Amino acid sequence: MSVLLHACCAPCSSAIVECMLRNGMKPTVYFSNSNIYPQQEFDIRKHELMRFLEVQQVPYVEDEYDHEEWLATIRGLEKEPERGSRCSVCFQYRLTHAARYAQEHGFHLLTTTLASSRWKNIKQIDAAGHIAVEGCPDVEWWDMNWRKGGLQNRRGELLKQNEFYNQLYCGCEFSMR
């Protein structure tokens, strides 16, 4: 089964990719993160993810980085707290890009590593995923809770084992505070 996995970073992706491979799935990782600021942070996260996926022999696809477009999309929500409206709009933006890619390239299932973070609201992520696939009739949102089944612990193990860079904020400049 081929799955398009929207990914935010190597630490959040590692246990999920490992789980998918172990269960006979064929993930393709889609890196769509125009929210990440600054560009240097984006590049570090991207290269860490690519390093991991190369070893796993998992295909990697990168969306165009357009932080200015992302800023325009969340305009007016800059002062929202984490898990607030800004995050919902951000998730929709990134997952809509992923859903379009999935539709155009024959992926039936779409899911995200965002659902692995204990710092994120899983209901927000799932709502954004369902909205993202609305315009993509051939794509189904897979609302998997990637925190369960020991994956959170395995994430920590893989983080140490692979010596991943582990960011200290979600990605956007507004989550830095």
At residue 177, the pLDDT reads: 73
pLDDT of residue 98: 98
Taking the C-alpha atoms of residue 170 and residue 36, their distance in angstroms, rounded to an integer, is: 8
Letter string b/e over residues 77-95, b meaning 16 or more CB atoms within 10 A of that residue's CB: eeebeeeeebbbbbbbbbb
pLDDT of residue 168: 84
Residue 111 CA: distances (Å) to CA of 40, 164, 174, 176: 26, 22, 25, 26
Q: Look-up: residue for tokens 């994956």?
A: 151
Domains along the chain with CATH numbers: 2-161 (3.40.50.620)
172 marked among binding-site residues: no
- Known binding residue 12? Answer is no
Q: How does pLDDT run along the chain (177 residues), one tens digit per residue? A: 799 999 999 999 999 999 999 999 999 999 999 999 999 999 999 999 999 999 999 999 999 999 999 999 999 999 999 999 999 999 999 999 999 999 999 999 999 999 998 788 999 999 999 999 999 999 999 999 998 999 999 999 999 999 999 998 889 999 987
Token pair belonging to 60: 């990697």
Asked whether residue 136 is marked as a ligand-binding residue, the answer is no
pLDDT at residue number 117:
83
pTM of the model: 0.96
Q: What is the pLDDT of residue 40?
A: 97
